Amino acid sequence: MASEELERKIKEFIDVAEKFAEPYRQKIFEVLLADYLRGTQRPKEIPEKVELPTPTIVPQKFVLPIGVRAVLQQYNVPEESIQKLFVIEGSEIQPNFKITTTKKSDAQMQVALLTALENALKPGGKFEFSMEVVRQRCRDEYGTYDRTNFKTHFKNNAKLFKSLDDEDHVELSTDGKAELAEAIVAVTG
């Protein structure tokens, strides 16, 4: 008689557990069986559906990469300048700056330097940019594209870059990082 009672209870607990999502079934069955075997009174009514708490998604707080922080400190640029230049949420970064200089060569260099900064802010990023991305931004977003002299402006400012050979990965030199600091001040000032 006792084994028949236990068998009936186990089948009841299985039926109850199967009403829940797969990840919870095993645990629900174990709790019900353990409760029964301990001899404690189980609830008279087992809810048909249990509302599980919705996990709250806390947006990640953006942490300024150490390389960017070092450059800002080296050239006495306040870290708050980053929030003036970019909208940052989690790992997403969007430029939010205006180029005010009217001289196209200077404007183009500012776009290039700030694009390098944007890339450095990304996880594992470097102070580098793609010339094609800069060309697109100068043309489409800032109205500073100088079709005739676009590459010439880079050649005239070659000391700002480690090399211009790989146009997809133009990395800032030490002089380029100093010029970046000046561009940040000019655009946020």
Same domain, 181 and 98: yes
More confident residue, 1 or 178: 178
Range of the domain at 23: 1-53
Confidence of residue 62 (pLDDT cuts 50, 70, 90): confident
Match 């940019």 to its residue by tokens.
Answer: 129
Q: Inform me whether the pLDDT recorded for 59 exceeds 70.
A: no
Q: Which of 111, 74, 110, 117 is nearest to 93 (CA)?
A: 117
Same domain, 49 and 140: no
Q: What pTM does this model have? A: 0.68
Whether 11 maps to a domain, the answer reads yes
As for how many domains the chain has, the answer is: 2
Burial of 85-95, coded b for 16+ CB within 10 Å and e otherwise, reads bbebeeeebeb
Whether 41 maps to a domain, the answer reads yes
Q: How many CB atoms lie within 10 A of CB 172?
A: 24
* Residue pair 130/167 in contact by the 8 Å Cβ criterion: yes
